[in-house]
Amino acid sequence: MSSREVNQHWYVLYTIPRWEKKVSKILGEKGIEHYCPLNKSTRQWSDRKKVVLQPLFKGYIFVRSNEQDKWHLKDVQGVLNFVYWLGKPAIVRDEEILTVRKFLDEFENVEVVDNQLKEKDTVIINQGLLLNYKGIVLSVFGNKAKVHIGSMGLDLIAYFDKNRLSLI
């Protein structure tokens, strides 16, 4: 295995809306390793049912590349940019790509749903020191939620990543 192959990572590319399959085809023709997760869903028309494949993550496609070559991916027709995390192109772990693949192999009609917290929702904290404490959402901004926790006769207000909270 060459050093270029060892230093490869999965990156997320943001595509022109509804171009995920076209970008996937272009990347395939160029011999670039990529993954466009497709969700099987059954659509009902007046005269028939049909199984269709639709991108699971609208506007996104995963590409495996090394550090040096990744910037050429922005030149592919239909690619708008990388998805960034902390100012750098986001890297997705191999295990996460494998998990998505396995999940889609086992299930159909999969839905990607954002944790839609809103004010006054009752939540339970599912990570950290306050594990299993309940609270009320005071406000939501981006990936953070301001939560009121009443415990031991005290009023606590803390900020949490939304992925650390579950609706009750």
- Tell me the CATH number of domain 122-167, given options 3.40.50.300, 2.30.30.30, 2.40.50.100, 3.40.50.150: 2.30.30.30
Give me the residue label for tokens 């939620």.
Answer: 145
pLDDT higher at 12 or 104: 12
Instruction: Write down the mean pLDDT value for the chain.
Output: 87
C-alpha 163/C-alpha 127 separation (Å) is: 9
Report whether CATH 1.20.140.10 matches the domain 3-106.
Answer: no
pTM of the model: 0.65
Domains of the chain, by residue range, sit at 3-106, 122-167
Which tens digits make up the pLDDT trace of 130-157? 888 899 999 888 778 889 887 666 678 8
DSSP state of 31: T
